[in-house]
Structure 1
Amino acid sequence: MTFRRHSVVRDEYVPAYLSLISNSLSWGGSRLFNRLHGVGINEWRVLSAVVNEPACTATRVGDVLGLNKSVVSRSIRLLQDRELLTVDTTGGRRGLRLTDAGHEVHDQLLAVSLRREELLLAGFSAAEKAQLLDFLRRMYRNVPAMNAYQPDEGTTP
């Protein structure tokens, strides 16, 4: 039996570009956010999620952001240590809320994040941005099917 070896042509493989862009956004954002406010990209994401859903739980933050529970927990601890976030245990629920300082950091990082988005999308029209968002949303809806895919052992799809 002869096996043919193929490789991914990176310039034609969508996951390669998504990964490159995602890594660049995360690494660049973390470096910048750490320099500006001593928080990384995951902490920024938690701040943003809590602003969008005040009093949400850590579980909800993980679900919304698609982050592992341990990553969310570490980020919450760091934000609490920095006095940017509090955990309200009233009613037996662990609701997350930003402090005044947390709102201030959030608002400053929001401006930076929006500017980074502008730079990333330089040369795109408003219609192209809308189309890109439509494509990305459609791809995101396909993620469960992609992750559920299990080829039979010993066979090629």
Structure 2
Amino acid sequence: MTHRERSVRREDYVPAYLSLISNALSWGGSRLFLRRFNVGINEWRVLSAIVNAPGSTAARLGALLGLNKSVISRSLRLLGTRELVVVDTSGGRRALYLTEAGHELHDRMLEVALRREEILLTGFTVEERTRLLDYLRRMYENVPAMNAYEPEAP
């Protein structure tokens, strides 16, 4: 087989499917969330992360979400302007919390997010969903090793 005959075939390449699904989730979710709630997918992720880890700092949110600090900062600025998030500096750090309006928006968005997940997983049994989540968690655990991989120079 020559080098011209070798290629990554999307239908056999896990990263291609993960990328396609991730892009579709982000683009579709962002369009829907912007139209329906006037916030995008990154703001949804930040709201959800704060609900799950109230009092987190922006740096902690970035680590939890795998987003860089400029995306987190931009989202927090928008959410703060809309009075959905507050910053508590009383403990010597910038702890983030949702306001009552932030919790209300989160809860409305959560219904949509969970329904989208349900549609995405149509046709999967409970056992298949459990296995899928296990596989995805295991792949995620392999990400640091994958990103540390450096091929030897020729």
Q: Aligned partners of 2:87 and 2:114: how far apart in 1?
A: 28
Residue identity in the other structure for 1:69: K
Q: Aligned partners of 1:36 and 1:87: how far apart in 2?
A: 26
Q: Aligned partners of 2:14 and 2:118: how far apart in 1?
A: 22
Match of 1:4 in 2: 3
Residue identity in the other structure for 1:13: Y
Q: Aligned partners of 1:63 and 1:115: how far apart in 2?
A: 26
Match of 1:24 in 2: 24
TM-score by length of 2: 0.96
Match of 2:50 in 1: 50
Q: Aligned partners of 1:148 and 1:42: how far apart in 2?
A: 26
Residue identity in the other structure for 1:81: T
Q: What root-mean-square deviation, in Å, do the aligned CA atoms of Structure 1 and Structure 2 show? A: 1.2
Match of 1:108 in 2: 108
SS at match of 1:91: coil
Q: CA deviation at 1:153?
A: 2.3
Q: Aligned partners of 2:126 and 2:151: how far apart in 1?
A: 40
Q: Aligned partners of 2:98 and 2:85: how far apart in 1?
A: 4
Match of 2:78 in 1: 78
Q: Aligned partners of 1:52 and 1:141: how far apart in 2?
A: 20
Q: Aligned partners of 1:113 and 1:48: how far apart in 2?
A: 10
Residue identity in the other structure for 1:153: A
Q: Aligned partners of 2:97 and 2:91: how far apart in 1?
A: 15
Once the two structures are superposed, residues 4-58 of structure 1 have per-residue CA deviations (whole angstroms, 9 ceiling, x without a partner) of 2321111000000000000000000000001111111110000000001111111
SS at match of 1:86: strand
Match of 1:89 in 2: 89
Q: Report the identity percentage.
A: 68
Q: CA deviation at 1:104?
A: 0.6
Alignment of 1:54-65 (within 5 A): 54-65=54-65
Give the unaligned 5+ runs of structure 1: none
TM-score by length of 1: 0.95
How many residues align? The count is 153
Q: CA deviation at 1:77?
A: 0.4
Residue identity in the other structure for 2:93: R
